[in-house]
DNA sequence: TCTGTTTTGTTATGTTATAACATACCTTCC
DNA sequence: GGAAGGTATGTTATAACATAACAAAACAGA
């Protein structure tokens, strides 16, 4: 899962995500309604976490103005079916590039440009489960949010390490 | 860092935390004022994450009623000096049992009883840094919040695994 | 004591999230 | 087609979390 480059064909990202979502919903017998699809599309407008109220405004700009519960319900649906991840440290949401494929949320966040990417390292999951087990704790769900500098921003800052 | 047992001498936890905080502030030349000490004590009232507004109410009950900024300022101070950790997924705060000793936030949260404990596994930090580096990402700060069942609650649920 | 700095108080407001209930919309079975 | 039951959305209000901006007080060093 590479970090998104500053410039890339982002419409491809959106299309891929929407297609994957359709497929996943079909597979699960879940209904990807208009509102849900639109919200997912809006979440995918960038690779940065988006807040619920920003989505609300975007909806308004599309002539689909709504109240908070509408957005939160759509987000809940998308979360429940693994189509987006919640970014707790930012009160925001990002699209998941590979729904269906089981994985906990391991998210990299660039402090400079705000871009997010998934780490998705199974060794990490294992290490956490193992480490927790040593304390007698059994893991059901984990949130990993890592802040730092993305490759692009490091290069800009002259970080050659 | 063991998971706190359901029944334990919690006044000892509080005393130890307060003493450690005094020491750490002395060492740093930071002023642990009345309000800050009281808020820290209130954070330590349990091993569960506490919200800012719950602290506000507790303060009121102590006859020390205050407005939100007072509590948030105290929390900011305690965070800045590593005396508490923020639990992003719960909008809450827990006391740090070993301030001074550098460590990222690795927090275990029991879904049943709500108790929290720190994992504090350096191997985990290393694995994250390494894994991120493979994507060209340099880590500055990480939030790990793991939900699951604590030993006590597992036993209660009959989980023998 | 004076002076500058840090801390706390106070008021107002911004931001994020949910409760509760009404309405509309599909789906299935008759 | 029409009723019944479930699912989804609309709507209003409010709860929960967090900060901006400025005033007053406490503190520390000269
Ligand atoms: Zn893209
Ligand atoms: Zn970046
Ligand atoms: Zn304790
Ligand atoms: Zn428990």
* C1’ C18 / CA A88, Å: 17
Q: What does the pLDDT average to over B3-30? A: 94
The Cα of B160 is separated from the nearest Cα of chain A by a number of Å equal to: 11
pLDDT at A154: 93
pLDDT band at B161 (very low <50, low <70, confident <90, very high): low
B121 interfacial to chain A (CB closer than 8 Å)? yes
Are B144 and B104 in contact by the 8 Å Cβ rule? The answer is yes
pLDDT at B65: 92
Q: What does the pLDDT average to over A2-19? A: 92
Q: What does the pLDDT average to over B30-56? A: 97
pLDDT at A157: 82
Give pLDDT tens digits for A37-50.
Answer: 999 999 999 999 99
> Which string of DSSP letters, residue by residue, matches chain B?
-PPPPSS--HHHHHHHHHHHHHHHHHHHT----HHHHHHHHHHTTSSS-B-HHHHHHHHHHTT----HHHHHHHHHHHHHTTSEEEEGGGTEEEE-SS-SS---EEEEEETTT--EEE---HHHHHHHHHHHHTTT-EEEEEEEEEEEE-HHHHHHTT---
Q: Look up residue A89 and give its DSSP letter.
A: G
pLDDT band at A151 (very low <50, low <70, confident <90, very high): very high
The Cα of A4 is separated from the nearest Cα of chain B by a number of Å equal to: 10
Q: What does the pLDDT average to over B119-127? A: 93
As a whole-number percent, the residues of chain A with pLDDT over 70 amount to: 98
Are B124 and B55 in contact by the 8 Å Cβ rule? The answer is no
pLDDT above 90 (res B12): yes
Which residue from B minimizes the CA distance to A148?
B139
Q: Which residues contact B126 (CB under 8 A, 6 or more apart)?
A: none
Q: What does the pLDDT average to over A22-32? A: 94
Q: What does the pLDDT average to over A32-36? A: 97
pLDDT at A101: 84
Please name the nucleotide lying closest to B33, CA to C1'. Answer: C7
* C1’ D20 / CA A104, Å: 37
Tell me if residue A65 falls in helix, strand or coil: coil
Q: In chain A, which ranges are E strands?
A: 84-87, 92-95, 105-110, 116-118, 138-149
CA distances from A21 to A4, A25, A46, B16 (A): 20, 6, 17, 51
pLDDT at B104: 74
Interchain CB distance below 8 Å, B141 and A142: no
Q: What does the pLDDT average to over B123-142? A: 95
**Rounded to 5°, angle at Cα B69 from B64 and B75:** 85
pLDDT at B31: 96
Instruction: Give the class (CATH, top level) of A10-157.
Output: mainly alpha
Give pLDDT tens digits for A61-118.
Answer: 999 999 999 999 999 999 999 999 999 999 999 999 999 887 878 999 999 999 999 9
Tell me if residue A117 falls in helix, strand or coil: strand
pLDDT at B2: 80
Q: Which of A 93-152 have CB under 7 A of nucleic chain D?
A: none
What are the helix and strand counts (H, E) for chain A? 6, 5
pLDDT at A1: 66
pLDDT, averaged across chain B: 94
CA distance A106 to A27: 24
pLDDT at B105: 84
For testing the chain A interface, which of B107, B111, B132, B149 should be mutated: the one with the most A CBs within 10 Å? B132
Please name the nucleotide lying closest to A72, CA to C1'. Answer: C17
- Of B3, B54, B145, nearest to A145 (Cα)? B145
- Of A160, A118, A87, A46, nearest to B135 (Cα)? A118
For chain B, give every domain's residue range. Answer: 10-157
pLDDT band at B1 (very low <50, low <70, confident <90, very high): low
**Chain C nucleotides near the protein (CB, 7 A):** 6-13, 15-20
pLDDT at A160: 66
pLDDT at A57: 97
As given in the structure block, the two tokens for residue B36 are 């800050």
Name the CA dihedral angle for B73, A107, B117, B82, rounded to a multiple of 10 degrees: -30
A3 interfacial to chain B (CB closer than 8 Å)? yes
Are B144 and A142 in contact by the 8 Å Cβ rule? The answer is yes
Q: Which of B 68-87 have CB under 7 A of nucleic chain D?
A: 68-69, 72
- B123 CA to middle of ligand 2, Å? 26
pLDDT band at A3 (very low <50, low <70, confident <90, very high): confident
pLDDT above 70 (res A120): yes
CA distance B76 to B99: 15
pLDDT above 90 (res B61): yes
Tell me if residue A160 falls in helix, strand or coil: coil
pLDDT at B103: 80
Is the minimum distance from the CB of A38 to strand D below 7 Å? no
């Amino acid at each position: 899962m590479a970090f998104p480059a500053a410039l890339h064909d982002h419409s491809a990202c959106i299309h891929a995500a929407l297609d994957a979502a359709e497929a996943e919903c079909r597979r699960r017998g879940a209904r990807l309604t208009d509102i849900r699809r639109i919200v997912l599309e809006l979440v995918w407008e960038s690779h940065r976490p988006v807040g619920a109220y920003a989505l609300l405004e975007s909806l308004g700009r599309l002539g689909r103005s709504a109240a908070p519960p509408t957005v939160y319900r759509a987000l809940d649906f998308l979360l429940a079916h693994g189509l987006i991840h919640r970014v707790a440290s930012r009160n925001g949401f990002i699209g998941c590039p590979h729904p269906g494929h089981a994985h906990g949320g391991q998210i990299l966040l660039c402090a400079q440009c705000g871009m997010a990417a998934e780490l998705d390292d199974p060794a990490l999951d294992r290490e956490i489960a193992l480490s927790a087990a040593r304390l007698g704790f059994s893991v059901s769900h984990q949130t990993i949010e890592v802040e730092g500098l993305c490759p692009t921003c490091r290069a800009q800052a002259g970080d050659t390490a």
